[in-house]
Structure 1
Amino acid sequence: MVDRSKDFATILRRDIKKYLKLYTIFDENKATDPYLIIPTKLKFKCEKCKNSWTTAHGTVQFMYHLQTRTSMIFIQVLMYPQKCRRCQLTATLSVYDDEQMRVAEEFVESLEKELYPSSQSVYKAKRKHTEKRACRARNKHIKSLCMACKNGICVYNKEKQKKYRATAKNGLRSG
């Protein structure tokens, strides 16, 4: 997995600064902290053989610890790479700018629902609502090359669900 917390921090700070102070964390999350998994389109490139590909089933995991009393949220954003099917080495991953924005917006919207469950989302009404990129998948998902599959959280295996939330209590959270 690749920690992309700092990449997302700027976008998230802009959108939640009205009601929360955001801090990025690295391996400080508690086993009981919730997380949100959102599918996104990712780009991969193998540095050894120069093979490149995209996937519509990229996995972005937002792990967070919310302290409502102090109006603080600690986040860690992880993306899961894939191995190259030609040479079996882990490829470098990158995310499209519009997809990064969409995923961050989806996380903020989900967070608002958690913080203000009875009210309409103020954020949803104000945001541009970035659409998910189109998918033209030609190849099947190869579980043995997917790090998210190895961690049991791949969005491909849960493609019927748009997103899901989990905690250690219900056994869906991987180590």
Structure 2
Amino acid sequence: MALELWRSIFGGKTEELEEEYGDSWRIEFDDSIEPEKPAQDWFKYIRGAFARFQCSKCKKTWPSRRVLVVFHFHLNKREKKGTVKARRFQQKCRRCQEAKMEEPTFDPDNIEVLLEKLVEKIRFRCYRENLGKNNRGFRPVGRSVGPHESAHCEACLRGICRKAE
């Protein structure tokens, strides 16, 4: 269900690209992509956003202001098809022993902002458009208090967390 929401919002954000350039775009989720190693001729975009998590063992929930999402994107100009691969980084519960990494849940407004910013990057990188600065930010849903816990953050454990930004 959540992935369908991402696909639906992305489809709406890329309609103009199809109208203006005749290119169709799709988004897929791939937890195997390496953030700093896009395939040849692919671009990367890494962004932090506010999301929530829930432990599958104890059901504890927690918010996080800096959940990384990595996008790799490519436009095949001959076929007029664009592809985005997305990876949402996970966190684990600090309370449970042997907790597993949990998927983030993003508020629909924050998915909108993430994908809006991604499409700006696509327009800049693939179509050489300069759209200026758009400062639309993320909406916190709930409160996020306390320090970022690097030991429970997948992005920190992989050395790519941008918690200092």
Check whether TM > 0.5.
yes
8 Å Cα contact 1:46-1:92 kept in structure 2: no
1:132 to 2:138 alignment = yes
How many residues align? The count is: 149
Q: Which amino acid is 2:107 matched to? A: Y
Q: CA deviation at 1:94?
A: 0.8
Could you tell which deviates more after superposition, 9-18 or 42-51?
9-18
Please state if 1:85 is matched with 2:83: no
SS in 1 for 2:104: strand
Q: Hey, what does 1:16 align to over in structure 2? A: 14
User: Does the Cα contact within 8 Å between 2:43 and 2:125 map onto a contact in 1?
Assistant: no
The answer to whether structure 1 residue 146 and structure 2 residue 144 are counterparts is: no
Instruction: Give the TM-score normalised by the residue count of structure 1.
Output: 0.72
Residues in 2 aligned to 1:114 and 1:141: alpha-carbon distance in whole angstroms: 32
Q: Distance in 1 between matches of 2:80 and 2:3?
A: 19
Separation in 2, partners of 1:45, 1:22: 31
Counterpart CA distance in 1 for 2:124 and 2:3 is: 21
Which string of whole-angstrom CA distances, capped at 9 and with x for unpartnered residues, describes residues 99-118 of structure 1? 0011000100111111343x
RMSD: 2.8
Distance 2:90 2:80 in 1: 33
Instruction: Give CA deviations for 1:111-151 in whole Å, capped at 9, x if unaligned.
Output: 1111343x4439x7xxxx75312485421111111011122
- Report deviation, 1:24: 3.6
- Does residue 52 (structure 1) correspond to residue 58 (structure 2)? The answer is no
Show structure 1 runs of 5+ residues with no match: 160-175
Cα 1:94–1:26 shift into 2, 3 Å: closer
The 8 Å contact of residues 65 and 144 in structure 2, kept in 1 or not, is answered as yes
Instruction: Output the TM-score relative to the length of structure 2.
Output: 0.75
Letter in 1 for 2:25: L
Please, which runs of 5 or more residues in structure 2 have no aligned partner? none
Measure, in 2, the Cα distance between the counterparts of 1:114 and 1:120.
9
1:6 to partner: Cα distance: 4.7
SS in 2 for 1:108: helix
- Aligned with 1:49: secondary structure? coil
How many angstroms apart in 2 are the aligned matches of 1:102 and 1:55?
16
Q: Distance in 2 between matches of 1:152 and 1:70?
A: 36
Identity %: 26
Asked if 1:115 is matched to 2:126, the reply is: yes
Q: How far apart, CA to CA, are the structure 2 residues paired with 1:116 and 1:93?
A: 31
